[in-house]
Amino acid sequence: MFKKILIANRGEIACRIIRTARRMGIATVAVYSEADAEALHVREADEAVLIGPPPSAESYLRTDRIVDACKKTGAEAVHPGYGFLSERAEFARALAEAGIAFIGPPPEAIAAMGDKIESKRLAQAAGVCTVPGDLDVIPDVERAVPIARKISYPVMIKASAGGGGKGMRIAHNEAELREGFSGAQHEAKASFGDDRVFLEKYIEEPRHIEIQVLGDAHGNVVHLGERECSIQRRHQKVIEEAPSPFIDAETRAAMGAQAVALARAVGYRSAGTVEFIVDRERNFYFLEMNTRLQVEHPVTELVTGLDLVELMIRIAAGETLPFAQPDVRQNGWAIEARIYAEDPTRNFLPSIGRLVRYCPPEGEGIRVDAGVFEGAEISLYYDPMIAKLIAYGKDRDAAIERLGDALDGFYISGVRQNVAFLGAIAASERFRAGNLSTDFIGEMFPHGFTPPAEPTEADQVLVAAAVLAELRMRASETAIDRLDREAEMPPELVVLLDGRPCPISVRPEGAAYRITGGSESCIAATDWRPGLPLLRLRLDDKLLTVQIERLPGRAFRLVHHGIVRRAQVLPPRAAALAALMPEKAAADSSRFVQSPMPGLLTAVIVAEGQEVKAGEPLVVVEAMKMENVLRAERDGKVAKLRAKPGDSLAVDQVILEYE
């Protein structure tokens, strides 16, 4: 076994690999860029080597510097994690030439699976079902038209070198094909320096289901069952689970057998993933093979009880797989949610800044894989993922319940994040019913992530939380005559939830309160103190968590199960007055397009007087070497441009004004 390994990555995956290596008694070397000098993976490794400036191309993607770091520290092997150099065959080759082991597959397997056209050819030859399509490179749109007609619409235009959802377009008819073709070509050229595109059938309302495979250097290959990753946004995974609620034993066995056949055909070694899309009739089609550890591998670890990183290390050291296919069992259910630094209420724009508060949840069946800590900086140089929250339960319902509770208890401030959005998905009936497809988010949130106007189940909890919070605030304001102050609260109250009045009555009952509203009544208690971000309450016999922040005007911002509301607790007369008062007109920001982050305005795509449709690109803001295209959030006419290319922008600076 290796004595020392180097982890050529950063963030949560570097920390996760270090954890297993430490348990195995292997020393670890971290590498880091200048932006990551204070990062968690640097602190957790036994040694760390600086490999360059913040941009990945000058640090985490520098094969030469990583090989040097191995030589300098005596690391015998490299784990690449995911992203960065993990799927570059040249990297694996360069390590081999330097006599360093690569904790991953052979370079030939990486190369064979790195190209979508080539890998589809190989898969077909290995007897794997592939999406109907045409495997010829299509040079121009005139050649594409007859091919699309032969495949029949809808079709998908795909970049052969593609990855990360880039260079993909759906076309439902010839007009859309003509429109999308050159866009896909350009995007492919810009992202991968390779403009080869091809066409395949677009499978409607598909589910994304993938098979984890594992092979050793002695010809043994097994699969560890499936993960379903259908909850996606712009073809990027958001929530993943194992097993899939859609797959029966027969389909699982058939998919597993094909995945193993493909792995064998390319001489696969290490952990890899064969991705399929599955249609409504459970027909499954090969998409691609990822020749590395996946972001979502923890759900497989939780249901199989295996440590994939440990197995990868053992396989790279030449050990034989310690089990065979019949020994692999799936037990219980695991669901992973990806916590991103982004603002779901503003079209998921990336957010940057310092994690002022970072309080991950803990508890039975909860695993948090993170590479951050309170005070850490989320920078725009790298992936905006803050952490992965993984919940395990004996069955799917139990796992969902734990996931929902854990999201309620995951408090992050300082950067915008998607915790409430994930909570809303976990709480939705459609998710609970397992009725998933890659269109889920688009269909469930057609107008983006906004609080529902109508009352929801979570509102009852929010009403109770608001009342308890108000009582505790009053109590803490005059500690001396605490009981008197509490008694001062009239028994009849109105809770305004986003301005909607919910009349209730409150009566002390022992150390708790009976809260009655309409025909509903419950007993509620909390030991929350003003200042704490989480209000844990007992509601009848349930223990629940509500996120709470103070707002100006003696109001609270409350979050529970994905419902975000402004709450105010008032005596009925004051509430009636507040309801009568004209709603203080909030500054109408929908008229303006503002910069979501400090940056440089590099391009203005629209002109004054131009009509735009929701979703159309308006301007491009560059922030820390990343281009962010700001799109119209609604239809409208551009009245005035308030900034020009080359201007540097402050956060929230107005760039253009609608009419």
Chain residues binding ligand ADP by CB under 6 A are: 131, 156, 162-166, 200-203, 206, 208, 232, 235, 275, 277, 287-288, 438
The CB-of-49 to ligand ADP minimum distance in angstroms stands at 31
> 287 vs 412, which CB is nearer to ligand ADP?
287
In terms of Cα–Cα distance, which of 44, 13, 11, 40 is closest to 29? Answer: 44
> 384 vs 596, which CB is nearer to ligand ADP?
384
Question: What one-character DSSP code corresponds to residue 130?
Answer: B
The CB-of-230 to ligand ADP minimum distance in angstroms stands at 8
Report the C-alpha gap between 395 and 397 in whole angstroms. 6
CA angle in degrees (0–180, nearest 5) for 42-418-351: 60
**How many Cβ atoms sit within 10 Å of the Cβ of residue 422?**
25
Report CA Rg, the chain: 27
Report the C-alpha gap between 85 and 291 in whole angstroms. 11
> 238 vs 315, which CB is nearer to ligand ADP?
238
Contact 484, 567 (CB under 8 A): no
Report the C-alpha gap between 373 and 43 in whole angstroms. 11
Contact 411, 386 (CB under 8 A): no
* Secondary structure of residue 77 in the 3-state scheme: strand
Contact 266, 108 (CB under 8 A): yes
Positive/negative CA dihedral, 87, 89, 94, 95: positive
The CB-of-297 to ligand ADP minimum distance in angstroms stands at 16
Contact 5, 79 (CB under 8 A): yes
> 206 vs 599, which CB is nearer to ligand ADP?
206
> 166 vs 346, which CB is nearer to ligand ADP?
166
Residue 466 structure tokens: 């608001």
Positive/negative CA dihedral, 180, 182, 185, 189: negative
Contact 529, 472 (CB under 8 A): yes
The CB-of-199 to ligand ADP minimum distance in angstroms stands at 9
The CB-of-147 to ligand ADP minimum distance in angstroms stands at 14
The CB-of-28 to ligand ADP minimum distance in angstroms stands at 30
> 60 vs 202, which CB is nearer to ligand ADP?
202
In one-letter notation, the amino acid at residue 232 is: Q
The CB-of-114 to ligand ADP minimum distance in angstroms stands at 10
Report the C-alpha gap between 592 and 634 in whole angstroms. 11
The CB-of-120 to ligand ADP minimum distance in angstroms stands at 10
In terms of Cα–Cα distance, which of 160, 108, 625 is closest to 379? Answer: 625
* Secondary structure of residue 474 in the 3-state scheme: helix
> 231 vs 366, which CB is nearer to ligand ADP?
231
Residue ranges of alpha helices (H) inside 233-287 are 249-265
> 127 vs 164, which CB is nearer to ligand ADP?
164
Which entry of 228, 288, 296, 336 is annotated as an active-site residue?
288
> 228 vs 342, which CB is nearer to ligand ADP?
228
Give all strands of the β-sheet with 4-7 in edge-to-edge order: 47-52, 27-33, 4-7, 77-79, 101-102
Residue ranges of alpha helices (H) inside 445-510 are 457-477, 482-488
The CB-of-285 to ligand ADP minimum distance in angstroms stands at 7
The CB-of-238 to ligand ADP minimum distance in angstroms stands at 11
In terms of Cα–Cα distance, which of 37, 550, 597, 59 is closest to 353? Answer: 597
> 69 vs 278, which CB is nearer to ligand ADP?
278
288 catalytic per annotation: yes
Give all strands of the β-sheet with 611-612 in edge-to-edge order: 592-594, 654-658, 636-641, 611-612
Report the C-alpha gap between 296 and 298 in whole angstroms. 6
Report the C-alpha gap between 49 and 30 in whole angstroms. 6
Measured CA to CA in angstroms, residue 433 lies from 244, 245, 259, 425, 544 at distances of: 12, 9, 28, 12, 22
Contact 43, 37 (CB under 8 A): no
- Residues carrying an active site annotation: 288
